């Protein structure tokens, strides 16, 4: 086994850290991943809502051009540019989420990793990788440039 077939220091458990701590930090990381996914959906909601409002504006113009001024006026005054929640467009929701909940979650997750494992990330997953991979086999390397890179250098068609 070569030196590249071992995980990097940043993906090794520090001395004295127990399984329960690694598992708890893994669960905290998993929760952060869900928050990241929710944040992505919030940004998607923001983009789709904005696109809907712009498209609605085009529909209003077409209705007006087709001679339906009353309906166009009603849509324009009641719906075009309307807040999605009282006093807020979606960009304000995104900003508030980012500045409060998301920033707090990221900070506390980072603080927990710093305090308990020296800031190391994904230790639970790194240990799972070590349990599941087959050392020395191509495509099972611990890090880039491991056994597969050596095998590829010997046989470029691998």
Q: DSSP letter string over 117-157? A: HTT---HHHHHHHHHHS-TTSTT--SSTTSHHHHHHHH-TT
Average pLDDT, rounded, for the chain: 91
Q: Which residues contact 72 (CB under 8 A, 6 or more apart)?
A: 60, 61, 63, 64
Predicted local distance difference test score (pLDDT) of residue 52 = 98
Query: What are residue 13's phi and psi, to 5 degrees?
Result: -65, 130
Which pTM value belongs to this model? 0.79
Q: Which residue has the higher pLDDT, 17 or 150?
A: 17
**Residue 1: which pLDDT band, with cuts at 50, 70 and 90?**
very low
Predicted local distance difference test score (pLDDT) of residue 153 = 47
Q: Which residues contact 139 (CB under 8 A, 6 or more apart)?
A: 148
- Indicate whether 145 pLDDT > 90: no
Listed range (50-54, 84-88, 152-156) with the worst mean pLDDT: 152-156
What is the arithmetic mean of pLDDT over 111-133?
A: 94
% residues pLDDT > 70 (the chain): 89
**Residue 150: which pLDDT band, with cuts at 50, 70 and 90?**
very low
- Indicate whether 151 pLDDT > 80: no
Q: At what angle do helices 90-97 and 19-65 cross, to 10 degrees?
A: 170
């Amino acid at each position: 086994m070569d030196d590249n077939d071992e995980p990097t220091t940043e993906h090794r458990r520090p001395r004295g850290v127990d399984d329960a701590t690694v598992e708890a930090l893994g669960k905290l990381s998993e929760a952060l991943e869900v928050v990241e996914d929710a944040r992505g959906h919030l940004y998607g909601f923001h983009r789709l809502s904005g696109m809907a409002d712009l498209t609605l504006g085009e529909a209003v113009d077409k209705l007006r051009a087709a001679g339906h001024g009353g309906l166009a006026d009603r849509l324009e005054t009641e719906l075009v540019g309307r807040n999605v929640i009282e006093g807020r467009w979606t960009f304000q929701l995104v900003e508030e989420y980012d500045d409060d909940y998301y920033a707090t979650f990221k900070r506390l997750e980072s603080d927990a990793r710093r305090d308990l494992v020296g800031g190391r990330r994904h230790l639970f997953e790194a240990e799972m990788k070590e349990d599941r991979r087959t050392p020395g086999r191509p495509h099972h390397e611990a890090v880039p440039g491991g056994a597969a890179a050596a095998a590829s250098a010997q046989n470029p068609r691998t």
